[in-house]
Amino acid sequence: MIRKTQEKIEAIVLDDAKQKYIVAGVGLATFILGFFAGAIFNYYLILIHSPFIAQLRSSLSYQSSIFGDGIVLPIINMFAVYFILENKEFLRRKVIRNAILLGVLITIYFHVNQAARGIVNWAMPTPWHWNYLGVFHAVYMFLAASFISLFYLVLIKYVRRNKTLPIEALIVTLGIIIFLVLLRLDYIAIDLSLPKL
């Protein structure tokens, strides 16, 4: 069963005609999982006047969520997946394992940093206590970080072989910088720590 599924996935990835659907699908999945699902839930909580949303910051409270997760990340992920598909000869088990390891480390770093600094929101209402939203966000962040790590690992192999830097490297890197700047501005602009009693 797993072998047949793997063969189907490989056939789709190897079919150049279907790659545009993969690129569009990655962009759409990033938008839905990274922004849209949270925004809909956020809006629902506003409509029902949930005290949860009144007490804690939610996805629509962050510019990094609205513009970063909603626009920047879907775009850079589409460029990243296009580049990976065009250079799929570099996709080896070791590269994929290293990307997953980097995804785990990045996710742990951000979540430990958030908890240690007491940065609370609707996904982590109190330090070191993540709710279902927090777990969902951690899984999404792990997938996103692993994917971007995969892009950069493939990029390193591409640059070593071709001795040139492709345009996708600049676009993805600029997008990540924009996202991190938006995140930093959110942290500066909003008091994200626990309210003082």
**pLDDT tens digits, one per residue of 44-64:** 988 998 888 878 888 888 889
Q: Is 128 left (phi over 0), alpha (psi -120 to 50) or beta?
A: left
Report CA-CA distances (Å) from 134 to 86, 98, 157: 34, 24, 34
95-139 per-position pLDDT tens digit: 999 999 999 999 999 999 889 988 888 888 889 999 999 999 999
| Average pLDDT of the residues in 1-23 | 66
Residue 22 has pLDDT above 50, yes or no: yes
Query: What pTM did the predictor assign?
Result: 0.84
Computed over every residue of the chain, the mean pLDDT equals: 88
Rounded CA separation 156/84 (Å): 12
The residue whose two tokens read 């770093």 is: 109
